[in-house]
Structure 1
Amino acid sequence: MNQAKVLCVGVAVLDNIFAVEQIPREPTKVFAKSFGLTGGGPAANGAVTAARLGGAASLWARVGDDAVGQIIVGELAGCGVDVSLVRRIPGGRSGVSSVLIDSEGDRFITAFADRTLQTDPSWLPLETIRDYDVVLCDVRWPAASQVVLQAARDQGVTTVLDADLTSDDAVERLIGFADYSIFSAPALERLSGTPDFAAALRIVQEQTSGIVGVTLGEEGFAWLAEGELRACPAFRVATVDTLAAGDVFHGAFALAVGEGLATADAGRLASAAAALKCTRWGGRAGIPNRTEVEQFMASSSQPVASETPIKIT
């Protein structure tokens, strides 16, 4: 199999991760059991995932020209991601997050994003998108995602949208441009207005001709194909840390699509990669490689993903 070329577009940040017994419910001081400093951000984590799973990953993103930006770019390069088009914005401040992870693997995130960081995507070399097998866009830099998704469509390149929660209408504006819009459950509920994911998928399907799907954590992955609901059961694991699991799913899914896998097979590979990541502490540091994922799938008793319509009761 030829190495699939994956272009990821969006945000790259630096995560400060603290392991605590419990996430505090009131103002107090908490002493962490452990600490990790690692890169984060949906597009950046997607690119690292694609690289670790054997793809050739490139990232188009912005960071500040501060010390944090230098750390972000250096780590991504060390992970095998092409960062030649990660722009350092003069005077800008790079994104950072403070993440508390409790003993159950649940997390509490406080994030900073410089709202004055340049959003103009006109410097991106859109004409080179045809050189990639697949494009993955997040919703944190919507101005870039929109022009990239449109250019990819014009050039016949498959696209995947990481449709996560935002504070604006970015998801609604972008899903019509994507071949695959893979939602988080909260983002799907927000856009559709219903917590019933099967009904919600049918509602958002009206806004795009592409495939719509949703990641459901322990309940797996579901999507619509020709109006029928399909599902990929979740892999059962002992959860240590869920940070970056959704990003890993999207990065693995995009790579699989770029390799030519069908939606069901791409969903199973992505589910396995995300599940393995959840067994490891440290956000991005826990992203598995391709051999680990394939061995995990081979040893798992999880049912094969279904291309047969299912009924949800």
Structure 2
Amino acid sequence: MTSDSQKPILFVGALTEDSIFRVSGFSSGSGKFIAERATRNAAGMASSAATAAARIGGKATLWASVGDDASGKELIKDLQSEGVDCGLVRTVIGGKSARAIIIVDETGERWIVVDYDPVTQSSPEGLPTNDFSQFKAVMCDVRWPGAAALALDAARDAGAMAILDADVAPRDVLLDLAKRATHLIASEPGASLLCDRKSSPENAVTALNDRYGVVVCVTAGGDGTYWCPAQGGPVRHVAGPKVEVVDTLAAGDIFHGAIAQALCEGQPMEDAIRFASSAAALKCTVFGGRLGAPGRAETIKLMEETYHG
């Protein structure tokens, strides 16, 4: 029997083939551009989060969906090389694996165009396993909502943490998934969609905690993270480390993977946010999306320098 401390985290959601190009001056207007750098790798919100958890010493299992094409096989192989267990990844006969084209400019900002095949991303008929007690936590993104709903419910029923990465998605999807979570970790735009209005991070935390009665975090990029515990109370703020930004792609995903791992290790929420913020900041110093996910030692080093120095 697996001890509680050895249980993996189940990550549920996107698995895409990302083609990433670094292009200076892209935001200046239309034209033809020559990439200064380029790379291609397996990514997606849940997949990048799983990579982050694995690199910092956790056990990560992925439930995602790919087509029965050459790309699907390569995506699985790529993540397996990171130590991510892909045994639950679904292969859809006749489906196409998801792909994304991403432009990163000289400031580190990014533009993302994603092509999801509705056949491949169709809702699953059921859970990939009947034993959710094997997972310490479930972390779901919003890109495969049918699977996320099943997994969040199963996690709560099994007494595991049910963590939602509430990023930009149709509002009805966000509302359905948010009510199933024990931990709601939202981007600033995602939180505004849930609140149905443009809200400051502080106001969004309060509103969402009042509505759902769970732990709520709202990440605000360079402005850090705002949060409150399930029982409510004053909104708390954790500033992010200061780094030289090269590429913000997948920074939020790295944050989600790192905070899930930290919580599974029993770190208090404030320390878990500091740990995840350090991992996300280090990612921003490296070009290539999830390829910049840091290891444990460097994450702890930046955390200590930033918050305990």
TM-score with structure 2 length normalisation? 0.94
1:290–1:3 Cα change, 3 Å: farther
Give the equivalent residue in structure 2 for 1:107.
Answer: 110
SS for the counterpart of 2:25 is: coil
The residue number in structure 1 matching 2:207 is 203
Q: Is the 8 A contact 1:8 1:46 kept in 2?
A: yes
> Within 2, Cα distance between the matches of 1:62 and 1:24?
33
Q: Distance in 2 between matches of 1:213 and 1:297?
A: 19
Q: 2:18 aligns with which of 15, 19, 34?
A: 15
In 1, the alpha carbon distance for the partners of 2:104 and 2:194 equals: 28
Give the match for residue 183 of structure 2: 180
Q: Distance in 1 between matches of 2:149 and 2:113?
A: 27
Closer/same/farther in 2, CA of residues 4 and 265 from structure 1, 3 Å limit: farther
Q: Which stretch of the first structure deviates more once superposed, 29-38 or 120-129? A: 120-129
Query: What is the aligned counterpart of 1:190 among 172, 178, 193?
Result: 193
SS of residue in 2 equivalent to 1:228? coil
Report what 2:77 is aligned to: 74
1:240 to 1:114, Cα distance in 2 relative to 1, 3 A: same
Deviates more, 1:28-37 or 1:118-127: 118-127
CA distance in 2: counterparts of 1:233 and 1:239, whole angstroms: 16
Which of 257, 260, 263 is equivalent to 2:269? Answer: 263
**1:169 paired to 2:172:** yes
Aligned ranges 1:141-160 → 2 under 5 Å:
141-160=144-163
Q: Give how far 1:207 is off.
A: 2.9
Q: Which one of 88, 97, 106 corresponds to residue 94 of structure 1? A: 97
After TM superposition, give the deviation of residue 227 of structure 1 in Å: 2.7
Matched length? 303
Distance 2:121 2:138 in 1: 22
Partner SS, residue 240 of structure 2: coil
Residues in 1 aligned to 2:211 and 2:45: alpha-carbon distance in whole angstroms = 23
The equivalent residue for 2:225 is 221
**C-alpha distance in structure 1 between counterparts of 2:221 and 2:194, whole Å:** 19
Residue 4 of structure 1 contacts residue 259 of structure 1 at CA under 8 Å; is this kept in 2? no
Are residues 210 and 136 of structure 1, via their aligned partners in 2, closer, same or farther at CA, if it must alter by over 3 Å?
same
Unaligned residue ranges in structure 2 (runs of 5+): none
Looking at structure 2, the residues matched to 102 and 144 of structure 1 have their Cα atoms a distance apart, in angstroms, of 34
Question: What residue number does 2:259 align with?
Answer: 253
Match of 2:273, SS? helix
Q: Mind listing any 5+ residue stretches in structure 1 that lack a counterpart?
A: 305-313
Does residue 135 in structure 1 map to residue 138 in structure 2? yes
- Give, in angstroms, the shift of residue 189 of structure 1: 1.5
**Does structure 2 retain, via aligned residues, the 8 Å contact 1:130–1:155?**
yes
SS of 1:32's partner is coil
The 1:249/1:4 distance shift into structure 2, 3 A limit, reads farther
Preserved CA contact (<8 Å) 1:175 1:207: no
1:287 to 280, 293, 297: 293
Question: Partner amino acid for 2:9?
Answer: V
C-alpha separation between the residues in 2 aligned to 1:191 and 1:24? 29
Q: Name the CA shift for 1:198/1:239 in 2 (closer, same or farther; >3 Å).
A: same
Whichever residue aligns with residue 211 of structure 1, its letter is V
In structure 2, what is the Cα distance between the partners aligned to 1:43 and 1:198?
26
Residues 28 and 15 of structure 1: CA distance in aligned 2, closer, same or farther (over 3 Å) = same
Among the aligned pairs, what percent are the same residue? Answer: 39
